Amino acid sequence: MAENLILVAAAFLAGILNSIAGGGTFLTFPALVYVGVPPVVANATSTVAVFPGYASAAAGFRRELASLGRRDLVRIALIMLAGGLVGSLALLISSNRVFSAIVPFLLLIATITFAFQDRIRAWTQASGKSVKPQGALGALLVSTYGGYFNGGLGIILLSLFSLWGMRDMHTMNGLKSGMSFVISAISVATFAIAGIIRWPEALMMALASVAGGFAGASLARVLGRRIVRIIVIITGLTMSTIFFLRIFW
């Protein structure tokens, strides 16, 4: 019962965090590992746990999503669907040992990218390397990352959208939730076929993440951009440190 409460609480908070700015898997993945689920299976199960929450969060930002062009949305979604499939297939051939060694680096990269996204965007614009919203390469790389490791996906997506020149945080959050849903959809299908999902834990956490997703969409409109950034950066650095320590202990 205590372990179930930990998982439910982690999933609910993850739903809130994913709606606000991403990084919810920073909570669900460690919680599953903490209760004894092997890392690769924990990652697959965590992906299922936060998957419905992305849909509820995107629904909460439906007004912002409506302001984006349908053609660009479809194009980006198809590219990210392909990348998510590549990444999820890569996870299937990864051992728990290799995956555990890679995770802290992925978490740290995601957090640093988010923390310095303004400077990165300024550099790309100054060097003439900024891309348009339909840029395929960035979408493909990020979605491949998301298919392999869902942790920090929202943060990476927000960083990518920032590099594309997007500034409205609510629109970015809506697009981030929608694309996270697309990437996770193909990942969940792949992991389900492979049989590496702990379904009792996944379904229980999924219900909690949906509730958190609806709550977070409203909360995101109340919190300022600066507070959102601080929450995500602190969460990312904390989880990165914990997983780096796990390598040596």
pLDDT, tens only, 174-206: 888 889 899 999 999 999 999 999 999 999 999
The residue range of the domain holding 75 is 2-248
User: Lowest mean pLDDT: which of 8-17, 50-59, 143-152, 174-183?
Assistant: 50-59
Contacts of 30 (CB under 8 A, 6+ apart): 10, 239, 242, 243
Give CA torsion, residues 31, 36, 38, 44, to 10 deg: -40
pLDDT (average), residues 42-65: 82
**pLDDT the model gives residue 231:** 74
Q: Tell how many helices (H) and how many strands (E) occur in the chain.
A: 12, 0
21 — pLDDT class (breaks 50, 70, 90): low
Q: Which of 46, 43, 58 is nearest to 98 (CA)?
A: 43
**pLDDT the model gives residue 131:** 46
Angle (deg, nearest 10), helices 39-60 and 199-222: 40
**pLDDT the model gives residue 124:** 55
Sign, Cα dihedral of 15, 17, 23, 25:
negative
**pLDDT the model gives residue 130:** 45
Q: What are phi and psi of 86, to 5 degrees?
A: -60, -45
Identity of residue 166: M
35 — pLDDT class (breaks 50, 70, 90): very high
User: Lowest mean pLDDT: which of 12-21, 36-45, 158-167, 214-223?
Assistant: 214-223
**pLDDT the model gives residue 186:** 95
Residue 127 has pLDDT above 60, yes or no: no
How much of the chain exceeds pLDDT 90, in percent? 26
**pLDDT the model gives residue 133:** 45
Domain count within the chain: 1
pTM more than 0.85: no
d(CA 40, CA 97): 9
Contact 17, 23 (CB under 8 A): yes
Q: Report the mean per-residue pLDDT for the chain.
A: 81
90 — pLDDT class (breaks 50, 70, 90): very high
**pLDDT the model gives residue 8:** 93
**pLDDT the model gives residue 220:** 65
Task: Determine how many CB atoms are found less than 10 A away from the CB of residue 167.
Answer: 10
pLDDT (average), residues 116-132: 59
> Which tops the pLDDT comparison, 183 or 131?
183
pLDDT (average), residues 9-29: 80
Contacts of 104 (CB under 8 A, 6+ apart): 240, 243, 244, 246, 247
Contact 232, 21 (CB under 8 A): yes
pLDDT (average), residues 47-52: 86
Contact 187, 147 (CB under 8 A): yes
pLDDT (average), residues 143-153: 85
